[in-house]
Structures are given as structure tokens and as C-alpha cells.
């Protein structure tokens, strides 16, 4: 059983592509998507299954759009933390009560306070995101306060490449 080799992909390109894909839906709801991928010129590459990362991030961004009130903003950021890359999706949505935050990554979890009249989905998006990020050797979490929005983060291990200011996501 041969392992599939993946070509290195620039993470900023993945994030920009995802932002572009959800822009129309965000605009329909009058939500502005802000990005900060500069990291002082650092470049990040993923050599493993980029589709897993794309889907995990898409789930976080789509949730942010659904649960953010109109005329608000969502912020996407990347940040280098020693040997980890942190990707953050921050919204100005309904927020998640502290006592419910541990539940949101369980399958079929739908929090009552966030339910809309016609909710879409079945409560698997965050479970899938967690599974995919774990497969990439990373972690996912949330910091949230009811009525003050949520900040979801993904942390992925990185190694410094031979080139200056260049890093690769690396499953340890």
C-alpha cells in the first residue's frame, strides 16, 4: 500500500481561495470578511492532504457566517507560535455559553440557543473539522462568550524549511 505524495501548497492561497468562495454568502448577509495572513512575510506550506485542511476551515468559516449577525465582520488570521501555525476564525455571532463549549465537537450537537427557524446541517461540521485536524497532527478549539461571538482556532505543527521565513506543516 503506497503512500500518496502530496505537492507542497501555499496555505495563504488556500485561505484566500476559501475567503473568495464564501464571499457571496457573506455579502448577502452584509458580513465583511477581514484577513490577516502576513506573518511578517513568512510563508507556510502544507505537504499532506490539503483537502482535509480546506474542509475543516470551510466548516469554521461557514458556521461563522451562519451565526454572525448582519452588518458584522468575520476575521481570519494566521500566526506563527514557536513550532505551530495557528489559524483563527473570529466572528461577532451569538457566541457559545462556556458550559456548552465542550459539547460542540460531539456528533449531531445542535445548541438550542443558536437554533434558527430553519437551521441547515445536522451538527457534524465541527466533529468533522476536529477529525480532519487531528489527522493532520493538529488541534482545534474555541473561546467564546455568549452574545460576544466566538474565536475558533486550529493549531498545526510546522517545521522551518531551509529557506528563510518558510515553514511546512508537519505531522509529528
Say if residues 46 and 168 touch (Cβ distance below 8 Å): yes
Give the pLDDT of residue 55.
Answer: 95
- The better pLDDT of the pair 146, 140 is held by 140
Q: Which of 83, 82, 97, 111 is closest to 144 using CA atoms? A: 97
Question: Which tens digits make up the pLDDT trace of 4-13?
Answer: 556 778 888 8
Q: Which three cell numbers stand for residue 172?
A: 509529528
Tens-place pLDDT, residues 68-124: 889 999 999 998 888 889 999 999 988 988 888 888 888 877 766 554 544 566 678
pLDDT over 60 (residue 141) = yes
Q: What is the model's pLDDT at position 140?
A: 97
Closest CA to 71 of 93, 41, 40, 89: 93
How many angstroms separate the CA atoms of 170 and 136, rounded?
8
- The answer to whether residue 2 scores a pLDDT higher than 70 is no
Q: Which whole number is the average pLDDT over 147-165?
A: 86
Of the pLDDT bands very low, low, confident and very high (cuts 50, 70, 90), residue 1 is very low
pLDDT score at 9: 81
How far is 9 from 76, CA to CA, in rounded Å? 18
33-72 residue pLDDT tens: 999 886 766 788 887 788 999 999 999 999 999 888 899 9
> At a CB cut-off of 8 Å and minimum separation 6, what does 65 contact?
22, 25, 26, 29, 31, 74
Residue 6 has what pLDDT? 62
Amino acid at each position: 500500500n503506497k503512500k500518496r505524495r502530496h505537492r507542497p501548497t501555499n496555505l495563504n492561497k488556500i485561505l484566500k481561495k476559501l475567503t473568495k468562495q464564501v464571499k457571496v454568502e457573506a455579502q448577502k448577509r452584509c458580513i465583511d470578511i477581514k484577513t490577516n495572513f502576513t506573518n511578517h512575510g513568512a510563508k507556510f506550506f502544507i505537504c499532506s492532504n490539503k483537502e482535509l485542511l480546506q474542509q475543516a476551515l470551510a466548516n469554521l468559516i461557514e458556521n461563522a457566517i451562519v451565526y454572525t449577525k448582519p452588518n458584522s465582520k468575520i476575521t481570519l488570521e494566521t500566526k506563527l507560535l514557536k513550532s505551530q501555525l495557528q489559524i483563527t476564525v473570529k466572528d461577532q455571532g451569538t457566541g457559545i455559553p462556556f458550559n456548552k463549549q465542550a459539547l460542540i465537537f460531539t456528533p449531531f450537537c445542535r445548541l438550542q440557543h443558536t437554533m434558527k427557524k430553519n437551521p441547515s446541517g445536522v451538527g457534524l461540521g465541527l466533529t468533522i473539522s476536529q477529525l480532519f485536524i487531528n489527522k493532520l497532527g493538529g488541534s482545534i478549539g474555541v473561546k467564546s462568550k455568549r452574545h460576544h461571538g466566538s474565536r475558533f482556532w486550529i493549531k498545526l505543527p510546522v517545521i522551518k524549511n531551509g529557506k528563510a521565513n518558510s515553514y511546512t506543516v508537519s505531522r509529528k
